[in-house]
Homo-oligomer: A and B are copies of this chain.
Amino acid sequence: MITMKELAALTGVSQPTVSRVLNGNTSVNPEVAKKVWDCAREHNYQPNMIARGLNGSQTCLLAVMVPNIANPFFADVIKAIEGTAEKAGYSILTFNSDYSLQKEEKCLRLLQQYRVDGLIAAPSRDDEEGTRHFGELTIPWRILTRCSDRMDSVYVSHEKAGAMVAAHLLQRGIQRFLFVGKEGDDKGLGFERGLRTGGVDTERQLTVIWEEDRERLSSRIAAYMSSFSDRAGIFASNDMEALLVLNILQRVGIPVPGRAALVGFDNTFISSQIQPGITSVNQPVEEMCRFVVEDLIRQIQKKEKKPHAVRHTEFAANLVVRASTDTGSCSGGK
């Protein structure tokens, strides 16, 4: 890989002149410029971003940290971020935190070692303990998809979205509710609030189930469904979970939406491609990512590393209604 120094030797000019020609900001003798360009092209010169990043100038690297790349929602996020970043001349370092605080801290250490210009992270947890380590970062960063008091974040209110799901299910005349997700999840809290607002006695009519293990989840859901005979409204914390629940219900012979109305979260391709289509909360991934990348890069280029007021940018979620919450009592409708 040829360097400016070598190009300089080959063309008989100084290295800074080569730099000036190749960067094209200062004025140079056209003839010299041509000679240098020709030589650079001939030898397929590629600037060394590493060296460029060394002089306190920028690396044009952004880090993206997500808890699970294999989750289609985060895959969409990474794709969208990469797309916008690439257009702006930035490349991305991808980190998978695996929902582990320990790994998250390691990632944070690593991305600082690479002197990335900025970070976009979807933290595993949004409580105090789970976000403390971000406070020590000296580079600009943004939190995506979650709202955190202490940090700049770009998100859809999971709480409001949960309430929206509640309203939708209530409108369908449902009286029994199940949230499949972690206790304390904002979606779940919003769901509960929405139900209460709708006059539901959540103590008796709302159940929360969370099991990592598929078999245990299956038996708990089966037990839940056989504990009453009404139609149930089930809200799963994401589309993958919703797919799993749908599968479980179908296996034990519970028709969806007949006996159970099902709602997912993230509106990934899964929810639309499956039969019956799953009603799901849509987050405007593309727009959010475009915004967060452009906003972050703006800050990077302004070099305003000073702490400013914490800024929250909320995007509106919308519910994409599909067959899984149809009013009709027959499953698998067209």
Contacts and interface: CB of A to CB of B under 8 A. Distances in A.
A79 B48 CA distance: 28
A309 interface: no
Contact of A82 (B59, B82, B96, B274): B96
Given A136-B44, A138-B1, A250-B275, A59 B50 contact: yes
A78 interface: yes
A300 interface: no
A48 B56 CA distance: 12
A83 B96 contact: yes
This protein's copies in its complex:
2
A209 B177 CA distance: 44
Nearest to A249: B275
A51 interface: yes
Interface residues of A, number: 55
B113 A49 contact: yes
Contacts of A270: 270
A99 interface: no
A131 interface: no
The 5 closest A-B pairs by CB, nearest first: A75-B75, A94-B94, A69-B79, A49-B113, A250-B275
Given A86-B106, A92-B93, 16 more contacts: A1-B112, A44-B136, A49-B115, A51-B54, A54-B54, A61-B93, A68-B79, A69-B79, A72-B72, A82-B94, A82-B96, A86-B96, A91-B95, A91-B114, A93-B94, A247-B275
13 contacts: A1-B138, A44-B136, A47-B113, A48-B113, A69-B78, A70-B72, A74-B75, A82-B95, A92-B93, A93-B94, A247-B273, A251-B334, A274-B274
